Structure 1
Amino acid sequence: MAIKQTGDIAAHRLSPEQLSCEFADIAPLLDPTAAAAAASRCHYCYDAPCVQACPTQIDIPGFIRKIGHGNLKGAATDILSANPLGGMCARVCPTEILCEGACVRNHQDSKPVAIGALQRHATDWAMAHDAVHWTRAPDSGRHVAVVGAGPAGLACAHRLAMAGHRVTIYDAHDKGGGLNEYGIAAYKTVDDFAQREVQWLLSVGGIELKTGVALGRDVTLDALRQQYDAVFLSIGLAGVRALELEGDALSGVMNAVDFIEQVREAKDLTTVPVGRRVIVIGGGNTAVDAAVQSHKLGATSVTMVYRRGVESMSATWAEQEFAKTQGVTLITHTKPVRLLGSDGMVTAVEFERNSDDGSTERFTLEADMVHLAIGQTLVAIGLDHALLTLDGSRIAVDADMRTSLDKVWAGGDCAASGGMDLTVQAVQDGKLAAASIDAAFALAAVKAA
């Protein structure tokens, strides 16, 4: 969605040098000494709780022990064997509620082992040195279509290719990566890491990526089922919930996901327009990313407004605290009532806040840019309604990621798999689907024998 530039919404708020500093890597690499020190804090627990907390079940004590012994190739191999997108997950996983949140060190000195930083230390070294390679099994003669080149689709394709099956990935965007490429704050994944990881993953061989191809527009599910031996749907949640309030069509109002994509894909950050007074409506990671990036682009005032309390926010406590350190003001228990404007441009948002005594009060915040981050939805174009859950919000799947339609599996954010809407969970969904597809091929071969 293009934003009309006015005196309050403009580009070039900061110099290239300032923007370079603002959008520098927020979690720079550990040096070898720091990595060795961090690794030495691990107890290498038997039946480690950190492993149980990781959706992809990485052998965390094992790879940390290897780092401590200076065996970075072995550590990276352990990580990438369980999670082929381990480099990106090391950057974007909410480790504070997963592996590091489960670390036994929290009960001893209130500081977990730096698992995420150590994982990135090993995987970045491996990528820089081209150290980890996979050998494909002999060609099976099977061919699978994967629709969606996000984390679930990429993980599924990689596992299937390893098993000797050929894979064609279709994606509606110009580049693969899904949310890793288009939906994550630029300061979390610098130096075009998402694309470098995609290219590394495709290097296993046997995978063809076709971009600019959308389900329901360029290909149909029926045609894919006829052409391929199996289909894996990993189409994500491409729709955005509407605010449906007076004034939501004013210029200066845009979806936060569109804003994040605009920042991510900008070749020159000085050209990205941003308001002086920005309001972000929502309480998830998307809201935090939009709010923080607005401030980093030069907004004078950034306010994030959420309708419930902080305990209900899907953004983790670490993301909330980071937003505050980046100049973002958080207002809770408050919902928008209407958006006000002048000459077609948004000028303010009227809110209603619930007080502790049960009463409500209304107040208005001035704004020249409003980002909506109130949730994403499944775009069911090209999907049979029978594939969906009763409420139509996701694709229904079983424990093996099978749908109700023969030869069709699904995973990632689009599927009702019961997991969290996280990159690491999407990777696990893709792995489970690949194992199920491979098993189905093996069973079919036995029956045909």
Structure 2
Amino acid sequence: MTIQKVLYLGYVWPEPNSSAAGSRTMEFLRLFRQQNWQVIFASAAALSPHRADLSALQIEEKQLTLNCDSFDAFVRDYQPDLVVFDRFFTEEQFAWRVERQVPNALRVLDTCDLHSLREARQQILKQRLQACHNERERQLILQAASDASLVYQQMCQNDVAQREIAAIYRCDLSLMISGVETALLHDAFAVPKYLLCENNLMLMPAPQVQTDFHQRQHFVSIGNFRHAPNWDAVLYLKQAVWPRLRAKMPDAQIHIYGSYPPPKAMALHQPEQGFHVRGWAEHAHQVMAAARVCLAPLRFGAGIKGKLADAMACGTPSVTTTIGAESMHGDMAWGGVIADQLEDFVGAAMMLATDEAQWQLAQQRGQQILQQHFDRTLASQNFIAAILQAREQQATRRLQNFTGAMLRHHSMKSTQYMSQWIQLKNQGITQITQTTQITQ
């Protein structure tokens, strides 16, 4: 069984300059085109002004309507050999239609990161914060949890984990970006290894001219404001880190960048305190390469953090948490400092900003991580090989995966009937509106 046509069902239109997920999607699309596979990217999301130019890759764009049989006709006419679902909620929305119209298509889920893990860590953080007696205690909490059993218990109590892992079982292959998440799914949730493909492929910036310590200035933080871990990190920077760091470095300045900043984020802009909220950065790698140190106090999250990969590529040492650096450096020393206590985080930021020798060492370590842990050529080859192997073994794998078949039968039927009910409801509203207009 070969692959000639690909349908990529996006939750959103890819924005490589806004998020690591957008960068990863673009890498996949480029690889598909390099195989000379025909690709259509389809999404029900509104068109974004920051989306990538897919026409440059000769990729057709298709705007979809949710809960509508028009998708059935489209996918039946196109007859894709490979369908990629961008995150589990896209699989929930469209997989039953794909299976009904093109049952022989290989179904692949790109998890981007394990949403249920991120949400579990967020809930644990909230519980820890609620147990605090005052603001000072709350500011000292820089980690959600390190106890794997506690995270597992929290995930089991959350229907997001049930939905996400069910989607993984229903697909022929799921793309994982984090080794921690792959191990969690296999060891704790008993997901068979053949259903998981661990690959940290993501779009890296071109190597920057490595300006030296004295040519750079200020701290920088960057991340999509719509992403909950990033917004929490900005608030933590403002409320906990910056007052302490500024007390030790009165002239310190930090510049906060990120796409889609809400008014509440821009309200944090206080130049007199050295805290600058800049919003969208048209050239994110340029602002990263101009900074001396990147600060990323991520208290919860999952997957690989694009901002920290960008920092290493731009030669910018970073201070982050264990969760921030998770699955990004193997057994190699971090390209900066990993700190899970507030005072350690502040001290590390000050040290990297003022100690040229330590700054240079951190920069070198970041380059080593990129070369050894993010080998783009090897990751690309392994990705295509995994897709082709899954296609070749598709029939056998589906026979082995009875759990997936069972979940498709039960879950997909309920999703199908709900979608059809919504479609009929929408049609009824449209007919009533049209009748009213004619009467008037």
Taking structure 2 as the reference length, what is the TM-score of the superposition? 0.30
| Structure with more strand by fraction | 1
| Structure with more helix by fraction | 2
Taking structure 1 as the reference length, what is the TM-score of the superposition? 0.29
